[in-house]
């Protein structure tokens, strides 16, 4: 054998001896732990001498023989009251006989309690985050002259509105007030009694409405009022430099081209229509009589779709509807103020036909020419579909908030 082989054999023998020795040491250690755990303890009522025999315990504690109850054991008592073991019982106390095992009762399962659901906590608002962009539905630079002000300190909305109220009351065009609410972190329309703190302010002078474009005099009054308001608030008013009058004229031309109101007339064939019957038909069709003398039908969001008015000069009202009679009715659709105008027009014509059947009348145009399906389809395409398509291409869809402001 070589020296290497002899060395390897020696190392193997040493490893085997080490493993055997370690196992012996572990066996000895575990045996000592087990003996310590099984050794008798003093003052243990469960192992005290005399439990099985009922004799008085001696001063020296004795290990009681373990008694396994058998099925044939006769219980010493008819009924045994449950007794919890008492620790540190004096050795001289009389020991009670071990009570028999009580029958095992089924314990109903504990009710399953759902883990509490953590409340959804809204993310904290970052006061230093930049405000969101002002929606065009509130102010649109194409149809309004918008002045911006950045306030140093928060100012209540009602204080801002009251500052130049008298000066702005002389204008012939509406003024829209929008402020950034520092509490809700949203842009809001200012209310005359509003208490919300405002730090960013946007004021828009509407460039035109159905009365025409804004005048140079109105523009001068508005600019002066904005400068005075900025001085009151100790801020700088940002007035855009642009040809406002030319922009207003362009918007007015566009509005005039699409500003149409379509009417369908229902004329009696001799016997006038009674107000009570008109009201019953209108209300059954979901229309409501307003203070303006019109029965109006609204969509689910409360927007006017079309209306019904007296063909004659007298207006309908809650006071006269029972006694009034008329030889004609007119169904009206305001093209730029109604979204999905073609669909709404078809709904209106169907309702007009039902009225004609119930009242024994005829559908005619403004020249009292009969309206049949071909004529109604031509009106729908040429006088509703095309104007509303032009509005959409201009970026002001019919029925949008901007359109409702312009065509007012």
Give the mean pLDDT of 136-147.
Answer: 96
Whether residues 249 and 339 fall in one domain: no
Q: Do 164 and 235 fall within a single domain?
A: yes
Question: 183: which 2 tokens?
Answer: 């509490």
Distance CA 408, CA 208 (A): 9
Longest dimension (CA), the chain: 139
Averaged pLDDT for residues 306-316: 96
**Where is the domain boundary, 254, 285, 318?**
254
**Separation of alpha carbons 306 and 337, rounded Å:** 10
Amino acid 36: pLDDT? 58
Q: Is residue 270 part of a domain?
A: yes
Q: For residues 338 and 79, which has the higher predicted lDDT (pLDDT)?
A: 338
Q: Measuring CA to CA, which residue among 307, 301, 357, 303 is closest to residue 329?
A: 307
* Residue that is written with structure tokens 């045996």 in the block: 31
Q: How many domains does the chain have?
A: 2
pLDDT of 124 > 70? The answer is no
**The domain spanning residue 177 has which CATH number?**
3.30.70
d(CA 396, CA 200): 26
Rounded average pLDDT over 146-151: 95
Based on the fold, state whether residues 345 and 240 are members of the same structural domain. Answer: no
Least confident of 130-134, 137-141, 357-361: 130-134
- pLDDT at residue 234 tops 50: yes
Residue 114 lies in a domain: no
Residues 166 and 244 grouped into a single domain: yes
Do the domain assignments include residue 191?
A: yes
293 and 172 within one domain: no
Q: Are 214 and 207 in contact (CB under 8 A)?
A: yes
pLDDT at 11: 81
Burial (CB count <10 Å: 0-12, 13-18, 19+), residue 307: buried
Is residue 136 in a domain?
Answer: no
Give the N- to C-terminal CA distance of the chain in Å, as an integer: 116
Classified as helix, coil or strand, 201 is strand
Residues 237 and 341 in one domain: no
Classify residue 16: in a domain, yes or no: no
Domain with 240, as residue range(s), is 144-254
Please tell me the predicted confidence (pLDDT) of residue 394. 93
| 150, part of any domain | yes
**Inside any domain, residue 139:** no
pLDDT beyond 90 at 390:
yes
Question: Domain boundary residue among 225, 254, 283?
Answer: 254
Per-residue pLDDT at 62 exceeds 50: no
Residue 283 and residue 177 in one domain: no
162, pLDDT greater than 70: yes
The mean per-residue pLDDT over the stretch 292-318 comes to 95
Res 242: pLDDT: 85
Q: What is the pLDDT at residue 16?
A: 73
Single residue among 254, 289, 305 that ends a domain in this structure = 254
Say if residue 160 is in the same domain as residue 246. Answer: yes
Work out the percent of the chain whose per-residue pLDDT is above 90.
62
Residue 129 has pLDDT above 90, yes or no: no
Q: CA 67, CA 186: separation in Å to the nearest integer? A: 81
pLDDT above 70 covers a percentage of the chain that reads 73
Confidence of residue 278 (pLDDT cuts 50, 70, 90): very high
Number of H helices, E strands in the chain: 10, 15
| Pair (269, 220) in one structural domain | no
Distance from C-alpha of 20 to C-alpha of 315, rounded to nearest angstrom? 116
Q: What is the pLDDT of residue 132?
A: 84
User: φ, ψ for residue 177 (rounded to 5)?
Assistant: -110, 120
Q: For residue 319, give the CATH number of its domain.
A: 3.30.1400.10
């Amino acid at each position: 054998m070589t020296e290497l082989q002899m060395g390897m054999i020696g190392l193997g023998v040493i490893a085997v001896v080490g493993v055997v020795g370690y196992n012996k040491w572990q066996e000895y250690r575990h045996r000592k732990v087990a003996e310590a755990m099984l050794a008798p303890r003093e003052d243990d009522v469960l192992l005290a001498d005399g439990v099985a025999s009922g004799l008085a315990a001696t001063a020296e504690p004795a290990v009681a023989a373990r008694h396994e109850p058998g099925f044939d054991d006769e219980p010493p008592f008819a009924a045994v009251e449950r007794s919890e073991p008492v620790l540190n019982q004096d050795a001289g106390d009389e020991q009670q006989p071990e009570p028999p095992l009580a029958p095992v009762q089924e314990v109903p399962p504990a009710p399953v309690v759902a883990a509490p659901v953590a409340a959804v906590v809204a993310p904290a608002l970052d006061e230093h985050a930049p405000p969101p962009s002002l929606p065009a539905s509130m102010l649109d630079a194409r149809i309004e002259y918008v002045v911006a002000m950045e306030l140093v300190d928060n100012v209540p909305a009602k204080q801002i509105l009251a500052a130049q109220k008298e000066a702005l009351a002389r204008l012939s065009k509406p003024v829209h007030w929008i402020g950034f609410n520092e509490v809700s972190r949203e842009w809001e329309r200012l209310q005359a009694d509003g208490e919300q703190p405002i730090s960013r302010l946007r004021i828009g002078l509407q460039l035109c409405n159905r009365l025409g474009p804004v005048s140079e005099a109105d523009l001068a009054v508005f600019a002066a009022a904005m400068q005075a308001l900025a001085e009151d608030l100790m801020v700088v008013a940002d007035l855009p430099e642009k040809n406002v009058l030319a922009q207003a004229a362009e918007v007015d031309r566009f509005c005039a081209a699409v500003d149409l109101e379509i009417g369908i007339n229902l004329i009696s064939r001799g016997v006038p229509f009674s107000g009570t019957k008109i009201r019953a038909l209108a209300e059954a069709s979901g229309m409501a009589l307003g203070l303006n003398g019109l029965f109006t039908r609204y969509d689910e969001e409360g927007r006017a779709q079309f209306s019904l008015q007296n063909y004659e000069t007298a207006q309908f009202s809650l006071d006269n509807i029972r006694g009034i009679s008329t030889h004609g009715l007119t169904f009206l659709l305001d093209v730029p103020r109604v979204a999905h105008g073609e669909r709404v027009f078809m709904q209106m014509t169907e309702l007009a036909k039902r009225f004609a059947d119930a009242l024994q009348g005829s559908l005619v145009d403004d020249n009292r020419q009969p309206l049949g399906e071909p004529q109604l389809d031509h009106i729908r395409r040429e006088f509703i579909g095309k104007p509303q398509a032009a509005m959409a291409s201009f970026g002001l869809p019919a029925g949008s908030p901007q359109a409702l402001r312009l065509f007012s």
